């Protein structure tokens, strides 16, 4: 079976947890094509770099890097303008393959990670 190829945007508490879970599942199941993180001082970014995963400060650069090889974009920023811009970029490029996960799916995945931490769900505009 072909692995699911993922672009992760944001390496905060949520993004880094998803990163770890995806890595634990193995590249034969989930391949992380790239990670975008605006804060290049983020301490977790060094682990991602050591793992050999390409990192980008700008999510548009990461999206251009992966292109239609990306199956799923997991945007953990939860910033509506980012989601809207990603949607527009996919449309502009004619990429009908890549799926931008809705915020509610991120919540579902978070619950499936087995975390005891609650995921803050106070975003009034999830961008969809």
* Integer Cα distance of 84 and 112 in angstroms: 26
At the top level of CATH, the class of 4-112 is: alpha beta
Maximum Cα interatomic distance, the chain, rounded to a whole number of Å? 40
Contact 59, 36 (CB under 8 A): yes
> Model confidence over 35-94: pLDDT tens digits?
999 999 999 999 999 999 999 999 999 999 999 999 999 998 878 899 999 999 999 999
What pTM was computed for the model? 0.87
- The candidate with the shortest Cα–Cα distance to 103, out of 72, 76, 70, 67, is 76
Domain ranges of the chain: 4-112
pLDDT at position 103: 75
Burial class (CB within 10 angstroms; exposed 0-12, middle 13-18, buried 19+) of 47: middle
């Amino acid at each position: 079976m072909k692995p699911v190829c993922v672009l992760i945007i944001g390496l905060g508490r949520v993004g880094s947890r998803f990163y770890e879970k995806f890595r634990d599942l193995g590249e034969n199941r989930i391949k992380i094509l790239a990670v975008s993180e605006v804060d290049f001082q983020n301490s977790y970014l060094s682990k991602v770099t050591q793992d050999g995963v390409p990192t980008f400060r700008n999510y548009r650069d990461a999206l251009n890097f992966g292109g239609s090889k990306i199956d799923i974009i997991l945007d953990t920023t939860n910033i509506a303008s980012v989601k809207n811009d990603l949607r527009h970029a996919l449309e502009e490029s004619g990429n009908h393959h890549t799926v931008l996960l809705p915020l509610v799916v991120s919540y579902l995945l978070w619950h499936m990670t087995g975390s005891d931490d609650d995921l803050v769900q106070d975003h009034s505009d999830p961008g969809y």
